[in-house]
Structure 1
Amino acid sequence: MFVDLLVAGIIAISILPLTTGYCAYSYGRSFWLWFALGFLLPIVSYFILFALILRQQLDHGQRLLFEAKSILAEAEEAERAERQRHE
């Protein structure tokens, strides 16, 4: 019973750091840095990351750069698939 409560507690405590790390990673930031910050400063790190992402999304140049990178990644993936199909 104690082990079950301990495991449930660890999972509950790690939800916010995992969420913070995943959000950071999906926007090109270090997962492990933000995961650690999520453990040290759980609520504060989440709001700081949210502010950084919001600032990046509101910057028109950064948003265009992010869109261009995703378009190039899709084109490279399509080219790679085309080459594999011809081999």
Structure 2
Amino acid sequence: EQTPLSLLYTAKLFKEAGFPNGVVNFVSGFGPEAGAAIVNHHDIDKVAFTGSTVTGKYIMRQSAEMIKHVTLELGGKSPNI
């Protein structure tokens, strides 16, 4: 949403390091659409999020229903998922 170019650069580094396609996936977009789709998708097993406590609580609640692994870094000002 706020830092898509750094996200694309990070994806490029994973590819250059030899990670197979689909092992690490990056999604850029606005939280209500892209974030909610990631958190609620049954084929996604792990979610890592950096952002607000309010959003972190939502992610934790939704992920708990599917027993999804979650890493949260909350309360900072560094946008990254």
Q: TM-score, normalised by structure 2?
A: 0.25
Q: Of Structure 1 and Structure 2, which has the larger fraction of its residues in helix?
A: 1
